[in-house]
Amino acid sequence: MSERSTWPLWEVFVRSRQGLSHRHVGSLHAPDAEMAIQNARDVYTRRQEGVSIWVLPASSITASSPADKDCLFEPANDKVYRHPTFYDLPDEVKNM
Amino acid sequence: MNMNERFEAYIASDAKIEPKDWMPDAYRKTLIRQISQHAHSEVVGMLPEGNWVTRAPSLLRKSILLAKVQDEAGHGLYLYSACETLGVSRDDLIADLHSGKAKYSSIFNYPATSWADMGTVGWLVDGAAIMNQVPLCKTSYGPYARAMVRVCKEESFHQRQGFQILLALCNGTEAQKAMAQESLNRWWWPALMMFGPRDEDSQHTEESMRWRIKRFTNDELRQKFVDMTVPQAELLGLTIPDPDLKWNEERGHYDFGEIDWNEFHHVIRGNGPCNRERLEARRKAHEEGAWVRDAASAYAKKHARTDASSTHAA
């Protein structure tokens, strides 16, 4: 009997070119990291989309919970002074 | 506001739903049905074309066809992955396809009997698929929308290569042009059926529109497809096999004849020309590939053991 169902899920990250960071592009199942890289290469970089691939087991990712969205991210809403546009300066001020 | 009302309001504001967000069971079920059907269609869609890889008329045409078939496999994978984020397993999805429980696009239950069919399939079948898929890039479920962005990017090559095959045939000998016309005659109506039943007969449309899973109705998309395709057929010098097809100045659209809905239901029920053959080919490929999957699992297991023991030794 096939053990296919035990293949773990891998998240795939691709660096599109030197100078940019790796970006999440999708996921796939593979028996090990080496096969995950091979499969990721076939699935996600057939049209010169990348120069480097990361794969990591989806099970190793710890995600914040949607239920915590407010308490994690709400506090930033009332701190507009963190943005440069908050400060009204005279037009004469150049290069700032 | 209860969870359901909050969900409806959230969707109505055009926000996206992500895998861990709360969603009504019916929303989840509808998505699983639609995304898995879509994934199965990509996978079964490889079969009529795979049939022509060895018989394509030149090395370039073979390479192009291979690349296209490889794309379909990739599209199937993006979509299966998106579907799995809803809590179903890949194995269950594939088992449902192989048992005949899950549906796939009926168009692939028609045979590809001539080389011109590779042109017509690219032009009309991929063309109709694009018409269906472009709006899905904005569908309300995030993983599905992201998968569709990738699919659409790749799909446009499929349509253009198909049109170019027909262009070559239509600029060729009388026999080649006749082959193109014969192919269009067979594929035109099944291509129109790809948009599904009429709006008034579609049981899922209303709810799917409200949930922003679907962004246009079946009939809207079908009309758009006809309007887009007629001038392209004229450019090829081919005749669309519909005596009722004519421009309606008042509507600003083409009028077209009635689809044979009996045939439509007949094929959906599993009685099309190739339903049995397609499923058999899928099952056979899956069963005959089992040893490869087993070998890969065994290799991974063995190496995981060696890696662990060498770590202990160090």
Instruction: Encode pLDDT of A50-68 as tens digits.
Output: 999 999 999 999 999 988 9
Over 80: is that where the pLDDT of A46 sits? Answer: yes
Q: How far is A5 from chain B (nearest CA, A)?
A: 6
Share the mean pLDDT of chain B: 94
Q: Comparing C-alpha atoms, which of B196, B193, B188, B191 is closest to residue B214? A: B196
8 Å CB contact of A66 and B21: yes
CA closest to A26 among chain B residues: B78
Nearest CB to B300 within list A5, A32, A63: A32
Give the per-residue pLDDT at B309: 67
B91 in Cβ contact with B257 (< 8 Å): no
| Contact call for residues B7 and B23 (beta carbons, < 8 A) | yes
Q: Say how far apart CA B34 and CA B139 lie, in whole Å.
A: 12
* H or E element at residue A14: strand A9-15
Determine which of A3-7, A36-40, B232-236 has the lowest per-residue pLDDT on average: A3-7
Q: What is the ipTM of this complex?
A: 0.85
Chain B residue with minimum CA distance to A63: B20
Which amino acid, residue A73? F
Q: For residue B223, what is the enclosing H or E element? A: helix B218-236
Chain centroid to CA B85: 20
A11 beta partners: A27, A56
pLDDT, tens only, B1-29: 788 999 999 999 989 999 999 999 999 99
Residue A66: predicted pLDDT: 86
Would you state the pLDDT for residue B197?
Answer: 94
Q: Could you report the per-residue pLDDT of B186-207, keeping only the tens digit for each?
A: 999 999 999 999 999 888 888 8
Judged against a pLDDT cut of 80, whether residue B307 lies above it is answered with no
Name the phi and psi angles at B183, rounded to 5: -65, -45
Length reported for chain A? 96
Percent of chain A as helix, strand, coil, to the nearest 5: 35, 20, 45
- Which structure tokens are listed for A62? 């710890």
- Chain B residues with beta carbon closer than 8 angstroms to that of A66: 18, 20-22
Dist CA B118 CA B165 (whole Å): 8
Work out the pLDDT band at B215, boundaries 50, 70, 90: confident
Looking at this protein, which amino acid is placed at residue B146?
A: R
List, for residues B247-282, the tens digit of each pLDDT value.
999 999 999 999 999 999 999 988 999 999 999 999
pLDDT of residue B213: 87
Q: Which of A10, A20, A9, A27 is nearest to A49 (CA)?
A: A20
pLDDT at B87: 95
Contact assignment for B89 to A5 by CB distance below 8 Å: yes
Higher pLDDT, A96 or A15: A15
Position A5 scores a pLDDT of 55
Nearest CA among B63, B95, B102, B94 for reference residue B77: B94
Lookup: tokens for B6:
């909050």
For residue B77, the chain A residues in CB contact (below 8 A) are 28, 43
Structure confidence at residue B314 as a pLDDT band (50, 70, 90): very low
Q: What is the pTM of this model?
A: 0.91
pLDDT at B64 over 80: yes
Q: Give the pLDDT score at B214.
A: 87
| Statement: residue A77 has pLDDT above 90 | no
Q: Do A43 and B74 touch (CB under 8 A)?
A: yes
Which positions in chain A touch B303 (Cβ < 8 Å)?
32
Chain B residues in contact with A47 (beta carbon < 8 A): 154
- Chain B residues touching chain A at CB-CB below 8 Å: 18, 20-22, 67, 70-71, 74, 77-78, 81, 84, 89-91, 146-147, 150, 154, 290, 293-294, 296-297, 299-301, 303-304
Give the chain A residue nearest B68 (alpha carbons): A46
Residue B40 has pLDDT above 80, yes or no: yes
Q: Taking 70 as the threshold, does the pLDDT of residue A1 lie above it? A: no
CB pairs under 8 A between A and B: 54
3-state helix, strand, coil in chain B (%, to 5): 75, 5, 25
- Interface with chain B: mutation pick from A16, A43, A46, highest number of B CBs within 10 Å: A43
Contact between A2 and B293 using a beta-carbon 8 Å cutoff:
yes
Q: Judge: B297–A31 Cβ closer than 8 Å, yes or no.
A: yes
Which of A32, A42, A49 is the mutation pick for testing B, counting most B CBs within 10 A? A32
d(CA B88, CA B90): 7
Nearest-CA distance A4 → chain B (Å): 6
